[in-house]
Chain A
Amino acid sequence: MKRRSPTLWTGAVLAGLVVLLALVSLVWLPYDPADTSGGRLAGPGDGHLLGTDKLGRDLFTQLMTGSRIALEAGLGSVLIAALIGVTLGVLAAYAQGWFDDTLSALLDILIAFPTLLLAMLIVAARSATLGSAILAIGLAQSAVVARLTRILVKRVLAQDYITAARTSGTSWPRITAGHVLPNIWPTLVVNLALQFGLAVLAEAGLSYLGLGAPPPNASWGRMLQEAQATFTTAPAGALAPGVLLVLLVIGVNLIADGLRDVLDPTTRRGRAAA
C-alpha cells in the first residue's frame, strides 16, 4: 500500500473526530446526562456549550453520549452483516442448482425490503432497544453483503488457478481460506465501510421514529426528533446532532472510497463518490 489517498485521510479525520468524542465521553462529560437543572431551551454559551434541551439537559453532553450509540450501531450492525453475509455468500457461491437458485431468490427478496422497514418490523416484534436495532439493521444488511460475496466468490472460482488447485487435490475449505477470501476482501471491506455509514443513518432513523435506543439514551436520531418542534426557537438542538451525523457518515464514506483507491489494483485514480 504505497499509494497515498487524500480521500482516505480526510475521511479518517472526520470519522476520527466522532470516535474521539465517544472515547472522551467514556471518561469525562461536561454534565451528568440526567441533570435537568439547565433551564428550558437555554441558548449556547452560559455554561452550556450548545445550550440545553426542553428538560434542561446539556446538549453537548447528550451529543457526546450519542456518538457512542452511533458508533456502536455502526460497528455492531456491520459485524453482524459481515458474519452472516459472508458465510451465506460463500455457501451460496459453492451451491449448485436449486439450492443456489433458492438462496439467491431469498436474498433478492430480503434486499427488495427497505432496510428501515425490515428493521421496524424486527424492532416491533422484539422491544425497542439498541440491541434490537443493531440486530435488525445487521440482518437487513447481511443480505446485501451475502449477494456481493456470492458474486465475488463465483468470479474467483471460475479462475484457472482454482481449477489447478482442485485438480491438485486441495480441499474446498483450504481453497476458500487460501485463494478465495484473500482475493475478495478488498472489495468486501470497501462495501462494509459503506454499510457502516448506512447503519449509522438507519439507527438514527429508527431512533427518530422512537424505535431505537430507549430514552434517556441520547441517540442523535431522537435528539433530532425532539428538537424538530423547537427548531425555530432553539436551532442548535437540531443542528448539532445533524451536523455530527453528516460528518460521521461522510467520513466513513470517504474512508470507503479511499480504501478502494488504495486496495483495488484495477483503479489508478479516485472515482466519484459512491
Chain B
Amino acid sequence: MKLRKKPLSAGVLTLALAVTLAACGGGAHGGGAANGAYDKNATVNIGSLYEPQNLDNTAGGGQGVTEALNGNVYEGLFRLTDAGKVEKLLAQDYKVSGDGLTYTFTLRDGVTFHSGKKLTSQDVKYSLEKVLAKDSQSARKADLEVVKDIATPDAKTVRVTLSKKSVSFVYNLSYVWVINSQAKELKTTEDGTGPYKLNKWTRGSALSLDRFAGYWGDAAKNKQVVFHYYKDATALNNALLTNGVDVVTSEQSPDALDQFKSQRNYKVNDGNSTTKLLLAFNDKAKPFTDVKVRQAVSAAIDDKKLLDSVWGGYGKLIGSMVPPTDPWYEDLTKVNAYDVDKAKKLLAEAGYAKGFSFTLDTPNYDPHPTVATFIKSQLAKVGITVEINTITPDQWYTKVYKNHDFTATLQEHVNDRDLVWYGNPDFYWGYDDKQVQNWIEQAERASTTDEQTELLKKANRKTAEDAASDWLYLYPQIVVANSKLSGYPVNGLNSQFFAYNIEKR
C-alpha cells in the first residue's frame, strides 16, 4: 500500500503492492472537447504535487516518477487500457505454453531507445532482472518473483519460465519498464523507448520532456511536456488560474473546484480512482475478532454522509476492497449498509449491548483526523467509545504495518487489484479465512482470466460479508484542465498521466 499524499518511506514502497493503472490508452477516452486544429508544436504545462525522488522506478522514485515517465518516457511489453485491460505495447505477440508456465514474447520491430540503440531481447531480460534484483525497491517485485528463468533465443524473442502458474503475469509486465541494458545513471537520466525523451529535470521545480523524433509508433501530439511541481494545492490551483499550468493531474480537495467550475475556460473532470479509504480493524485483536462486532461497526457508520462531508459530492461508495475498474468488481454497498438498529442488535448478540471502547490509530494528515472525528461521533450513538490516537506516517509503518500493534486504524489503499491482501493472514489487518485464502491462491493459478475473475468475486463477497475491514469510500479522481486542452487522461488512476495524446489549441 502506498499513502496518497505523503508517501511512506522507501521501505514501505518495497513491500507495497503499488499497482498503478495505466489510464486512457487511446485518445478516445481523453478529456476535453476536441474541435478545430490543434498546435502540433505546443508545449503542455502540467501541474502536479508529486515530484519524483529520483527517475528510477526500482529505486524508490515515488509516485511522481510513475506520473511523469510511465508510458511517456518508458514503455513496457504491455500497457493497461483505461478499462483495466492489458494491451500489447513493445510485445508484438506472445504465446503461453499448455501448462501455463512458459511465456514466449516476440518483440516489435523497429523500436529504438532514445540513445539510438535498437531494442533487443537482451534489454527486456535486463529490465526484468532489474525489477527482480536484490536491491530493487520496485513495488512489482513480489508479484514477479514467480519468474524462474529468462531466456533470449534470438534478438527478437524472450522466453520466460515461471515456477508456478500466474494468471496476472502479463498484467504485471505492464509495470516493468523496458530500459536500455547499457544505460547508466538511471536516477538522473533515462533511456527508454517512449514517445518523449527527457529534456531537463530541475529538482524542486520542473521536469521537461521533448517529443522523440525516432519513436516507433504515432508521434506525440505536442512538442513538449513540462511537469511543474508544487508543494501545496493552493499554489497549484493559482498556477492554473493564471495559466502557469494547463492541467492539474489530481485535485485533492473539492472546495477549490468552484473557482474552476464557474468559468468556461476550465473543465473539471470527475473520474474513477482506485484509492479506497479503509477503517481497518485488527481482525486478530479483541473485540474485532468477532465478525458481529465488525459488522456492527460497519453498519453504524453513515458512509454516505462521510463522503459528502469530505468530498462534497464527488467520489463513490464501495462495499468492498474492489473498485469499479477491477475486473472482479461487484456492487456490494448493500452488504453491511448503514443501519443503526441492526448495528445495535449485532452488538447485543456479540455481548456488547453496553458498547465498548477502542483506540483508533489515525495518521496525522488529511483526511484521517476529520474522518476519525466523524467515526467517533457516529459510533457514540451505538455506545462505542473511540479514543483517537494520532500518529505520523513513520509511526503508522512501524506500529501498525510492521508490528500489528493496533486495534483499528485508518488508511488509504491506492492500488488497483489489491483484494489479494485479504488472502495473506500475515498482512497488517490479520484477516484469516482459509476459504478466502484458497480462492485467492487458486485465482492466481487459474488458466483463464474468466476463471480468475469468478474466484476473486467469491473471495470479495466473503470478505465483504465478514466485514474484514470497513471500506468507507472510493476517492474521486479529479483532473482540472484549461478548455484549450483535450486528450488528457481523465481516469489518471493512481499516478499515471499519459501526455502524448494531449492536444492544445
A155 CB-CB contact with B under 8 Å? no
Of the listed stretches B97-105, B108-116, B364-372, name the one at the interface; the rest are far from the partner chain: B364-372
Residues of A with C-beta under 8 A to B374? 36, 55
Residues of B with C-beta under 8 A to A228? 234
* 26 intermolecular pairs with C-beta atoms under 8 Å apart: A34-B377, A40-B309, A41-B312, A55-B309, A55-B370, A56-B309, A124-B392, A128-B389, A128-B391, A210-B390, A211-B390, A211-B392, A214-B388, A214-B390, A215-B369, A215-B370, A215-B373, A215-B388, A216-B376, A216-B377, A216-B388, A229-B233, A229-B252, A230-B255, A232-B259, A233-B255
A209 CB-CB contact with B under 8 Å? yes
Interface residues of B, Cβ cutoff 8 Å to A: 233-234, 252-253, 255-256, 258-259, 305, 308-310, 312, 362, 364-366, 369-370, 372-374, 376-377, 380, 388-392, 394-395
A100 CB-CB contact with B under 8 Å? no
The number of residue pairs between A and B whose CB atoms lie closer than 8 Å in the complex comes to: 81
A54 vs B308: C-alpha distance in the bound complex, in angstroms? Answer: 9
**C-beta contact mask, A190-223 vs B, less than 8 Å → 1, else 0?**
0000000000000000000111001110000010
Min CB distance A222 to B, Å, is: 7
CB <8 Å contact, A230 and B253: yes
A234 CB-CB contact with B under 8 Å? yes
Given A34-B377, A128-B389, answer yes or no on A222-B369 (Cβ-Cβ < 8 Å): yes
Residues of A with C-beta under 8 A to B310? 54
Closest partner residue, chain B, to A217 (CB atom): B388
A243 vs B415: C-alpha distance in the bound complex, in angstroms? Answer: 41
Contact pick for A54, options B258, B370, B391, CB 8 Å: B370
Min CB distance B411 to A, Å, is: 15
A231 vs B232: C-alpha distance in the bound complex, in angstroms? Answer: 14
A161 vs B125: C-alpha distance in the bound complex, in angstroms? Answer: 88
A170 vs B259: C-alpha distance in the bound complex, in angstroms? Answer: 75
Residues of B with C-beta under 8 A to A54? 309-310, 370
A180 vs B59: C-alpha distance in the bound complex, in angstroms? Answer: 61
**C-beta contact mask, A53-75 vs B, less than 8 Å → 1, else 0?**
01110000000000000000000
A210 vs B392: C-alpha distance in the bound complex, in angstroms? Answer: 8
CB <8 Å contact, B312 and A40: yes
Given A211-B392, A214-B390, A216-B388, answer yes or no on A229-B366 (Cβ-Cβ < 8 Å): yes
Residues of B with C-beta under 8 A to A56? 309
A61 vs B389: C-alpha distance in the bound complex, in angstroms? Answer: 22
Residues of B with C-beta under 8 A to A225? 366
Interface centre among A40, A211, A215, A216 (most CB of B within 10 A): A215
CB <8 Å contact, B372 and A215: yes
Shortest Cβ-Cβ A-B pairs, 6 listed = A210-B364, A229-B253, A230-B255, A216-B373, A128-B390, A34-B377
Closest partner residue, chain A, to B233 (CB atom): A229
Residues of A with C-beta under 8 A to B391? 127-128
Closest partner residue, chain A, to B306 (CB atom): A55
Residues of B with C-beta under 8 A to A34? 376-377, 380
Min CB distance A205 to B, Å, is: 13
A79 vs B312: C-alpha distance in the bound complex, in angstroms? Answer: 44
Contact pick for A214, options B258, B362, B365, B380, CB 8 Å: B362
CB <8 Å contact, B369 and A210: yes
A128 vs B364: C-alpha distance in the bound complex, in angstroms? Answer: 9
CB <8 Å contact, B364 and A211: yes
CB <8 Å contact, A232 and B255: yes
CB <8 Å contact, B364 and A40: no
A233 vs B255: C-alpha distance in the bound complex, in angstroms? Answer: 6
Residues of A with C-beta under 8 A to B366? 225-226, 229
CB <8 Å contact, A229 and B390: no
Residues of B with C-beta under 8 A to A210? 364-365, 369, 390, 392
A211 vs B389: C-alpha distance in the bound complex, in angstroms? Answer: 10
Min CB distance A62 to B, Å, is: 11
**C-beta contact mask, A11-43 vs B, less than 8 Å → 1, else 0?**
000000000000000000000001110001100
**Residues from 232 to 265 in A contacting B, C-beta threshold 8 Å:** 232-234
Closest partner residue, chain B, to A36 (CB atom): B377
Closest partner residue, chain B, to A209 (CB atom): B364
**C-beta contact mask, A116-136 vs B, less than 8 Å → 1, else 0?**
000000001001100000000
Residues of A with C-beta under 8 A to B372? 215-216
Min CB distance B262 to A, Å, is: 11
A55 vs B366: C-alpha distance in the bound complex, in angstroms? Answer: 13
Closest partner residue, chain B, to A226 (CB atom): B370
Min CB distance B391 to A, Å, is: 7
Residues of A with C-beta under 8 A to B312? 40-41
A222 vs B366: C-alpha distance in the bound complex, in angstroms? Answer: 11
| 12 additional A-B residue pairs with CB within 8 Å, beyond A56-B309, A222-B369 | A34-B377, A40-B309, A40-B312, A55-B373, A55-B377, A127-B390, A209-B364, A215-B370, A216-B373, A216-B377, A231-B234, A233-B258
CB <8 Å contact, A214 and B376: no
Contact pick for A232, options B256, B308, B362, B376, CB 8 Å: B256
Min CB distance B82 to A, Å, is: 29
Residues of A with C-beta under 8 A to B388? 214-216
A216 vs B305: C-alpha distance in the bound complex, in angstroms? Answer: 18
A159 vs B270: C-alpha distance in the bound complex, in angstroms? Answer: 76
Min CB distance B327 to A, Å, is: 34
Closest partner residue, chain B, to A218 (CB atom): B373
A209 vs B370: C-alpha distance in the bound complex, in angstroms? Answer: 14
Min CB distance A255 to B, Å, is: 32
Closest partner residue, chain B, to A54 (CB atom): B309
CB <8 Å contact, B233 and A215: no
Min CB distance A121 to B, Å, is: 11
CB <8 Å contact, A214 and B389: yes
Closest partner residue, chain B, to A128 (CB atom): B390
Residues of A with C-beta under 8 A to B255? 41, 229-230, 232-234
CB <8 Å contact, B395 and A124: yes
Min CB distance A274 to B, Å, is: 31
Closest partner residue, chain A, to B302 (CB atom): A36
**Residues from 83 to 127 in A contacting B, C-beta threshold 8 Å:** 124, 127
Min CB distance A229 to B, Å, is: 4
A108 vs B390: C-alpha distance in the bound complex, in angstroms? Answer: 32
Residues of A with C-beta under 8 A to B392? 124, 210-211
Closest partner residue, chain B, to A210 (CB atom): B364
Min CB distance A230 to B, Å, is: 4
Min CB distance A74 to B, Å, is: 21
Residues of A with C-beta under 8 A to B309? 36, 40, 54-56
Min CB distance A57 to B, Å, is: 8
Closest partner residue, chain A, to B363 (CB atom): A210
A176 vs B376: C-alpha distance in the bound complex, in angstroms? Answer: 52
A215 vs B390: C-alpha distance in the bound complex, in angstroms? Answer: 8
Closest partner residue, chain B, to A124 (CB atom): B392
Interface centre among B366, B390, B394, B395 (most CB of A within 10 A): B390
